[in-house]
Structure 1
Amino acid sequence: MLDFIDGATLRQDTPEEYVRQEILKSLVREYGYDKRDIRVEFPIKFGSRRVRVDIVVFPPDLRASEQTQSTAWLIIECKSAKVRPSMKKDGVEQMLSYMAACPNVEVGMWTNGEDMASYAFETGTSGQRVSVEIPDIPHCGDSAEAGTPRFDQLRPAASDSLLFAFRRAHSYIAGNQGMQKPEAFWELLKLIFCKIQDERDSSSPQFYATPKERQNMTGLMRCSSRIGKLFENVKTQYPQIFKPVEQIELDPKVLAYIVTQLRMFSLLDSDVDVKGKAYEEVVGSNLRGDRGEFFTPRNVCNMMVEMLDPSDKDLILETFMPQRIQTRANYDLAA
């Protein structure tokens, strides 16, 4: 596997390396960081030994000789899906301890592709550095403080980042809400439509949950109220998909977590293929396969398109699409 940052180093093709390379692509393509400011497997002094941090991001315009442990600004630890966030050795605590070992690091992120946790250091009442969870790492040039987002901060999804987000969200709903996979998928679909509705029609973002809101029930209910209003508009616009009596059936804490996993993306600006791959991943592996139904493989779809060679004036009839609902849902997700 070729390293995305230097374009020359061959790295072992492992599940952990796959996650790391996807994060590296996301840092550059979505968050706007310069490859020159990113170091992979960067060594730091950790107690009496030296360890290698998966990814370190430095402030812009530093020379290579100035990129040291004392100037590191953001660190990221990437693991395989088998490693859980709660594990003492390789979980979130490892990343937090690496952050503490770097005096000027402000932000850190831990991910295994399915779970993601981001933290920032704040100054406590007695002057000590205290780690607090934040929804996401900041874009290049932004601070670590997370408040009400702006639409110009949203970013198109790149590579498999949206796929990871959908997968995390679906798994979190199923695991924390006690739902079966079909029900969990339907709740996720409601929130995806709320996100699209927000991007299309809101004058300012409503699809968000701030760190402070996630810390108390009043804030959680405020987030639930915003998303609930978006869903009311969704039901009005898509009565063939959602019934008038339907509600979002998620605990406020679960809802706020899912919102933080999706809020940073611009679904409208994301590439259709990126959205399609993410959507098919969730539906194909977590829902339709259980019922003996599967998506036609992409290579077969491409072959059929090449054989037909349709123009933009041709009318295509999909005879195996029995439900108008599914057609409309897929269209709006891809649009």
Structure 2
Amino acid sequence: MLWQLSRVPGRPTVIAYVVSQLQAFSLLASPVDVKGVAYEEIVGSNLRGDRGEFFTPRNACRMAVTMLNPQPHEVVLDPACGTGGFLITAMNHSLAFIEADERKNWMDPASGTEEERQELYRRRTEYLSSCVNGIDLNPGLVRAAKMNMVMNNDGSGGLWQANSLESPHTWEPSLREKIRYGSVDVIVSNPPFGANIVIDDEDLLAQYELAAMWDKDENGQLSIRRNVSGIPILQKSQPPEILFIERCIQLLREGTGRMAMVIPNGILNNPGLAYVRTWLLQNVQILAVVDMHRDLFQPRNDTQTSIVVMRRLSSEEKALAQSDGLDYPIFMAVGEKIGHDKRGNTIYRRTPDGADAIAVRTETISEIDPETGVEVLKEIEVRERQVDDELPEVATAYLRWLGEQA
């Protein structure tokens, strides 16, 4: 009815009324990725299962990004970005540092000159255009991710449709120029996994040491099997999640590049995959392993996974790791409570007497003064039920542990 009235000539008051009712809502400030959630419900089971695409719950995205703590000057990549959940979380985490300065100037105009405020806006725009990058093989997911990014601060310019596992030389020129081996500061990703999507293209497999056959000597040491010419002998096929591990590490900056990846637990504990773990220890420092609850991807998938945080070694560290090994502590945790059950229903915390546990927090919101049209910030008290989710506490404990290691 309102739409019909707004089409009637001479009724600008109707449009003004609609705007006044909608202006209090901000998609950009929404704490829930409603666009991604809606899309994931729409795409259906064929997309979610057949190609190993199981979208990561947003609380797991937030935990991984908090542990990585990406900064505004760092290049972020998700080489299997899906609808962009990890990217949006990482992007907003980094933008918070810039926006804190912006808010300071908005609340106290005397604290900064117009030139300084323009510089903050330039920093924000430059970050979105140069530091946020995502790749996905599925063109439909890339389109959905672009829509999602536009509605969440707009980092859509850095999204491409491509096969991350193929040689970067086959990527389109704009992607090749932006993403190169050793150029990425932070990778956060949940690559596709599953027994039905193995990679068997010989040219593609030839790029990876983890696609080769590995042998164990009499001392229990693992090494790549090679022919008389020294060329690695390839396996017939390899699941994509193993190849994604190596590709991501190839893209990370040596010495400082770090990554959080969802990895099936079979890679971490299957005796037949010991060569993958050996290769990892020779190329990265394992910073943290968080064993996730089996229901993390339910109701669609019950694969047991962990989120592994790691840092790519420098050339000197890699040589030492391959010769004598590196000795360092690793943060380990178990995410027993993830906020939902195996049917996907939200689980809330309870007090000892069985009542809902209520959290009270202060939130800063912005409103438009109807008389001046100027944005006004004010604080409100919000009372809400607490989701039974330990993942934020895991991230906090990791950052505290990391500070103690410094």
TM-score (norm 2): 0.28
Look at both structures and tell me which one has the larger radius of gyration over its CA atoms. 2
More strand by share: 2
TM-score, normalised to structure 1, is: 0.32
